[in-house]
Amino acid sequence: MAPGTADRIAAEASALLRAEGEDAVSMRRVATAVGITPMAIYRHFPNREALLRAVAERGWDQLAEQWGRRARHDNPRAELRRTLNALLDFALEQPRLYALLYAVPSGQGNHSGGVDFRSDESPVLSAVVAAVDEGMHRGVFEPDDVSEVALSIVALMHGLISMHHTGQLGLSDPQFRVLCGTAMTRLLHGVGA
Burial of 26 (0-12, 13-18, 19+ CB in 10 A): middle
* 4 assigned to some structural domain: no
* 78 assigned to some structural domain: yes
* 127 assigned to some structural domain: yes
* 33 assigned to some structural domain: no
* 9 assigned to some structural domain: no
Residues of the domain holding 139: 71-191
Residue 149's H or E segment, with its range, is: helix 146-165
Mean pLDDT of 53-77: 79
CA–CA separation, 78 vs 75, rounded Å? 5
* Structure confidence by residue, pLDDT tens digits, 150-179: 999 999 999 999 999 999 999 999 999 999
Q: Which of 69-83, 101-115, 161-175 has the lowest mean pLDDT?
A: 101-115
* 52 assigned to some structural domain: no
Q: What's the chain look like in SS3?
A: CCCCHHHHHHHHHHHHHHHHCHHHCCHHHHHHHHCCCCCHHHHCCCCHHHHHHHHHHHHHHHHHHHHHCCCCCCCHHHHHHHHHHHHHHHHHHCHHHHHHHHHCCCCCCCCCCCCCCCCCCCHHHHHHHHHHHHHHHCCCECCCCHHHHHHHHHHHHHHHHHHHHCCCCCCCHHHHHHHHHHHHHHHHHHHEC
In terms of pLDDT, which residue wins out, 111 or 141? 141
Percent of the chain past pLDDT 90, that is, above it, reads 52
* 87 assigned to some structural domain: yes
- Number of domains the chain contains: 1
* 26 assigned to some structural domain: no
With left for phi above 0 and alpha for psi between -120 and 50, is residue 72 left, alpha or beta? beta
